[in-house]
Amino acid sequence: MIELRNVSKSYDGKTFVLHDISVQIQEGEFFVLVGPSGCGKSTLLRMIAGLEYITDGQLKIAGKEMNNTPPSERYISMVFQNYALYPHLTVENNIMLGLYNAELSKEEKRRRCKDVAEMLGLTDYLQKKPRHLSGGQRQRVALARAIVSQKPICLMDEPLSNLDAKLRTHMRSYVRQLQRQLGMTIIYVTHDQVEAMTMADRMMILYDGRIQQIGEPLYVYNNPNNTFVASFIGSPPMNMAKVHKLNDLFLLQQEWIVKIAHHAQMDNKYGTIGVRPEHIRLAHEHEPHVWLTVTHVERLGTETLVTLKLTEQDEWIARWHGQHSIEIGQQVRISIHDEHVLFFDEEGKRIVKGGDKYVTYDETSY
């Protein structure tokens, strides 16, 4: 188990790039650090690896404090974004670098290399140089070098970002299956929320060096802590709009009146509402609805993304299953069920109903 307690990072002693990070990562867990570029993901990974000094707080691995322990004694291997392969060495020699400091015989090292190469489909490439390999094959060599050491923890820093979209999708599944097969603890850094959603047992969303939420992917998707998480997790992102409460109604940009019955007693006068694209649907003739104008259509085969003009300032995206013959400029009848509308306060924190009153939602699942 890896445990971070109130960990912070500053390079100059004044400005902090990571603030009070606390989390427990369980043995055998696939844990993803996700957030926009510059939020501190890679810095945190490097602190766990021992490549960056921890300014404040405590890092424990297997119950032992590791703040000042050198990287070679932290039971970890690492896979980098740029593969970090030696071009003058063969694939076999690149893989065996993972055993450089291991007190093993040459025969044992070659046996391990052969076993890992067979596992990753690299047997036919062992005597080739990296320049003769494709991007996916080079990434598998980098994975093999990390796996061959048999360290229980593997840190991955955006390892798939250099691959094309189709290969990235394949490698996501490949890495996840490999992790389950080996039972490794993996901490995986990415800015791609699709990778986070499809690969993680749990994920931690970072923004501006602070934890925004920790939890299982679907839980975070359905129960975002705040407007940042709601808009960052999901593709297309959650639709949002500012609202103003007037008696038991909510005015949207002073132009569209929305009555959300079970939120009528909410204390906040101003806030934000959020709706996932899949929850905006075509209304039946006799149910409550609103007419909206179509401004853009993307037909993806299995689904159709329709952009709708909500107000003069806002456009929302609806995701409808299947293929729809809808044209730009067409008016469509739209309905949203009350339970699919999320409310956020003026500071952007989620508001949920607790008993007979509304409370700020702050479930971080540490």
Pick the closest to residue 117 from 101, 128, 106, 103 (CA basis). Answer: 128
Q: How confident is the model at residue 229 (pLDDT cuts 50, 70, 90)?
A: very high
From residue 86, give the alpha-carbon distance in Å to each of 95, 156, 162, 357: 10, 18, 17, 62
CA dist., res. 75 & res. 66, Å (int) = 11
pLDDT at 261: 45
pLDDT value at position 249?
Answer: 61
Q: Tell me, what's the pLDDT at 218?
A: 95
Strands 185-190 and 30-34, by their bridges, are parallel
pLDDT in tens, 63-84: 999 999 999 889 898 888 888 8
Q: What are phi and psi of 214, to 5 degrees?
A: -130, 135
pLDDT digit string (tens) for 3-17? 999 999 999 988 999
CA–CA distance, 111 with 109 (Å, rounded to integer): 5
Residue 212 to residue 203: CA distance in whole angstroms: 11
Residue 193 backbone phi and psi in degrees, to 5: -70, -20
List pLDDT tens digits, range 146-161.
Answer: 888 888 999 999 888 8
DSSP, collapsed to helix, strand or coil, labels residue 148 as helix
Percent of the chain with pLDDT strictly greater than 90? 49
Region 241-360: CATH code:
2.40.50.140
User: Alpha-carbon distance 189 to 32, whole Å?
Assistant: 6
pTM over 0.85: yes
How would CATH label the architecture of 2-227? 3-Layer(aba) Sandwich (3.40)
Average pLDDT on 193-205 reads 94
Mind listing the pLDDT tens digit for each residue in 247-305?
666 666 544 555 554 454 556 677 888 999 999 999 888 877 888 899 999 999 999 99
What pLDDT sits at residue 160?
84
pLDDT digits (tens, 9 = 90+) for 25-65: 999 999 999 999 899 999 999 999 999 999 999 999 999 99
182 pLDDT band, cuts 50/70/90, is confident
pLDDT recorded at residue 56 = 95
Model confidence at 213, pLDDT cuts 50, 70, 90, reads very high
C-beta neighbour count of 202 within 10 angstroms: 20
Mean pLDDT of the residues in the chain: 86
Sheet strands side by side (includes 350-354):
256-258, 249-252, 239-246, 270-275, 342-344, 350-354, 357-360
Cα 27 from Cα 179, distance rounded (Å): 12
Domain boundaries, the chain: 2-227, 241-360
Give the span between the Cα atoms of 154 and 166, in whole angstroms. Answer: 24
Residue with tokens 């700020």: 360
Question: Quick one: angle between helices 135-148 and 106-119, nearest 10?
Answer: 140
What is the pLDDT at residue 284?
85
- Model pLDDT, residue 211: 96
pLDDT reported for residue 250:
63
Helical segments of the chain, H only: 41-49, 91-96, 106-119, 135-148, 165-182, 193-199, 217-222, 227-232
pLDDT tens for residues 323-339?
988 999 999 988 888 78
Using alpha carbons only, give the angle 291, 297, 299 rounded to the nearest 5 degrees. Answer: 130
Per-residue pLDDT of 94-111, as tens digits, reads 999 888 777 888 888 889
SS3 string, 200-258, reads CCEEEEEECCEEEEEECHHHHHHCCCEHHHHHHCCCCCCEEEEEEEECCEEEECCCEEE
Query: Would you state the structure tokens that stand for residue 50, as one six-digit string?
Result: 């021992």
214: its two tokens: 């920790």
